[in-house]
Structures are given as structure tokens and as C-alpha cells.
Structure 1
Amino acid sequence: MLILDDLLIRPFVSLLDILHTMALDRTYDTSAIRDELKENQLLYEIGERPEAEYRRRKQELERKLSMAEEIQEQMRDRIQVKR
């Protein structure tokens, strides 16, 4: 039974883990969020974004970046524990 588990179930679980990690990495891409922050700043500076919208979007992106950094850190810790 253990050999069968190793041959059939373990690869499937490993694949799901890899897909989950890839999805989290893409969803919480800190460099993309930083780019959005820069774009928001630029649009405000050239006058294409009102100050109220700029501030609202900036707060939203900063919260998103903070969460993304936290999740990225958890993913790094999780990978280190597995090794």
C-alpha cells in the first residue's frame, strides 16, 4: 500500500503544491504592485488623476503590497522548511 501511495498520490500532491505556489506568486507579485504605485504617482503628477483618486488608489496599493510581501515571506519560509 505504501509503495502504491508513493507512486500514485505523492506526484499528484506535489503537482498541486507547485501549481498553488505559482498561483500565489503571480497573484502577489510585489514588483507588479510597485509598478502600479509608480504609475499612480505619474498619472497624478501629470494631472490625469485627481488627488482624491490618487490617494485612495495609493492606500489600496500600499495595503496590497504589504499583504503581498507578507505572503511572499511565508512562501519563502515554507520552501525553506520543506528542504
Structure 2
Amino acid sequence: MFILDDILIRPFTSILDAIHTMAVKELYDIEEIQNDLKENQLLYELGELTEAEYTERKAELEAELETAEQAHEQLNNKNIQIQQ
């Protein structure tokens, strides 16, 4: 029975693990969030955002970045438990 489990179930769980890893990396893309922070700063400096808009968006992006960093850390530790 254990051999059958290894033959049928292990490949399936490996595929699911790979898909899950790819999804987490795409959903919580640290580089993308950092680019959004830079863009937000640039738009503020160019006068296209008010200080209130800039501050609000910056806070949102920093919270997103923190969540993304936690997700990547948990992914590296193979312990994904994202909470929002």
C-alpha cells in the first residue's frame, strides 16, 4: 500500500507544491511592490499626488511589502500561513 501511495500521491503533491510556490511568488512580488513605492514617491515629487494621497498609498504599499516579505520568508521555511 505504501508503494502505491508513493507512486500515485507523491507526484501529485509535488505538482501542487510547485504550483503553490509559483502562486505565492507571483501574488507577493516584493520587487513589484518596491517599484510601486518608487513610482508613488516620483508621482508625489512631480506634483501629481497630494501629500494625503501619497501618504495613504505609501502606508498601503508598506503594509503590502511587509506581508510579501513574511510570505516569502514562510515559503522559504515551507510554512505558509498568510493572514491579512
**TM-score, normalization: structure 1?**
0.89
Aligned-pair CA distance for 1:78: 1.9
Q: Cα RMSD (Å) of the superposition?
A: 1.2
Residue aligning to 2:8: 8
Aligned-pair CA distance for 1:50: 1.4
Aligned-pair CA distance for 1:74: 1.1
Distance 1:47 1:67 in 2: 29
Residue aligning to 2:82: none
Which ranges in structure 1 are unaligned for 5 or more consecutive residues? none
Q: Judging by fraction of residues, say which structure has more helix.
A: 1
Which aligned segments of 4 or more residues in structure 1 are displaced greater than 6 angstroms? Answer: none
How many residues are aligned here?
A: 79
In percent, how many aligned pairs have the same letter? 57
Distance 2:30 2:76 in 1: 14
CA shift digits 1:6-35 (9 cap, x unpaired)? 111110011001100110011111111000
Residue aligning to 2:49: 49
